[in-house]
Amino acid sequence: MGFGNGIMRIGRVELRVLDLEKSASYYKNVIGLEEVGRSQGRVYLKAWDEYDHHSLILKQADYAGLEHFAFKVKNEAVLNELEKKIEQFGCDTSRISYGTRMAEGQAVRFVLPTGHNVELYYEIERIGTKTGTLNPHPWPLDTRGIAPHRLDHVLLTGDDLKTVTRFFMEVLGFQQSEKITTVDGEELVGSFLFTTNKAHDLAFIKGPDSKLHHVAFYVESVHDVFRAADILTMNNVPTEVTPTRHGITRGQTVYFFDPSGNRNEAFASGYITYEDFPTITWTEDKIGQGIFYHRRELVESFGKALT
């Protein structure tokens, strides 16, 4: 659970896609998610190790990108309390009513200083996993594709990283695991934030407001990252960066693109954070090494391919 803030984890991402059928096929067969339902131009999916009804919603749209992402909170009292704090900070909020989307209860929606839509919710149908909770096997035999354990994090771009970082830390009680600054330390160009024991639950890098950089799915080991890269090549999926290590978070990674151009990541390992975790600083002159530890330089598309 979050550090006394009642926020448990990142719970879902809704992505805009250009071709719903093609995208659903990709997320089911290449990523290896399970389709759990459909409603009004949307497909709902979950990873095999997730208990709630869905963690990814694909929405038919004219342009790609992030429709919203959401954090699951403990209960209604937490939802109401955080809603007040968000309003006091000056963010626009609204209520999403019951049944707006499949298997979901009510939610509080608000707009970040970077222009992204975020929701907080506590009600969602729990459908469990194929392995169950009684004497379970470690994984189900019928997995497909990359078969990640769960949705892990999102990385977004925005202009005012100082304000959005302050919002998550002061209002929602997140902590900053890592930051990227200009060499003089004056400007913030990257901010990695957590509310669980993960290296990051979401992150921001300097760029245009309201844009998605990537959605990451968690796999267990560097072997699974390599296997993911093999699956991408077998399926002719555009791969941006072949398996490598991050300096930031220490995770192992491969980046690639869904049929609409939304960037995905298969992310493994990474360190564990605690409430007393100190913020690690990277300076902009070492950003290449921070992001791609082995090649020590960014690929051009990494900062430009946004949806």
pLDDT digits (tens, 9 = 90+) for 49-72: 999 999 999 999 999 999 999 999
* Average pLDDT for the chain: 97
Q: Are 55 and 47 in contact (CB under 8 A)?
A: yes
From the list 44, 121, 218, 255, the catalytic residue is 255
φ, ψ (nearest 5 deg) of residue 75: -165, 180
* 167: its two tokens: 């919002």
Identify the structural domains of the chain with CATH numbers, from first to last.
7-121 (3.10.180.10), 150-304 (3.10.180.10)
Q: Is 223 a catalytic residue?
A: no
pLDDT at 1: 41
Given this model, what pLDDT does residue 7 score? 97
Say if residue 3's pLDDT is above 70.
no
**What local confidence, expressed as pLDDT, does residue 149 receive?**
98
Mean pLDDT over 9-29 rounds to: 98
Residue 188 has pLDDT above 60, yes or no: yes
Residue tagged active-site, from 50, 200, 213, 218: 200
Whether 294 sits among the annotated catalytic residues: the reply is no
% the chain with pLDDT above 70: 99
The per-residue pLDDT for range 107-153, each reduced to its tens digit, is: 999 999 999 999 999 999 999 999 999 999 999 999 999 999 999 99
What b/e sequence results for 193-217 when a residue is b if at least 16 CB atoms lie within 10 Å of its CB, and e otherwise? bbbbebbbbbbbbbbeebbbbbbbb
Where is 254: in which H helix or E strand? strand 251-257
Catalytic one of 265, 274, 284, 294: 265
136: burial class by Cβ within 10 Å (0-12, 13-18, 19+)?
exposed
